[in-house]
Amino acid sequence: MVSDRIRFLRKKNNWSQVELASKLGITRSSVNAWEHGNSIPTTAMLIKLINLFQVSADFLLETNHNADVLSLEQLDEAEKAVICKLADIFLADS
């Protein structure tokens, strides 16, 4: 659900609900309502969330349920670097 993704991304960034609300120019209660599934962000706010968290709409809205697709969006920079090094190793062997 969108509510779970928003909570996940907020916590991944170590932001409180107040901090996320401030970055979006909204109230903490709006963020809280989203995270509890009591309301959903407007289209304009979804775009702000996508840009702020630097994720795809598919990821935020959970529209891509293909488990075979590797997504790097949830990884930090160190984890992405490890994946890139592994890819380089495999590509060098081909």
Structural domain total, the chain: 1
Q: Give the number of other CB atoms < 10 A from CB of residue 15.
A: 16
pLDDT at residue 72 greater than cutoff 80: no
Q: Between 43-53 and 17-24, two packed helices, what is the crossing angle to 10 degrees?
A: 110
CA angle 7, 8, 11 (to 5 degrees): 80
What gap in Å lies between CA 13 and CA 54, rounded to an integer? Answer: 11
Q: Give the number of other CB atoms < 10 A from CB of residue 21.
A: 18
Q: State pLDDT tens for residues 20-54.
A: 999 999 999 999 999 999 999 999 999 999 999 99
Structural domain of 49 = 2-92
| CATH code for position 53 | 1.10.260.40
Q: Between 28-35 and 17-24, two packed helices, what is the crossing angle to 10 degrees?
A: 110
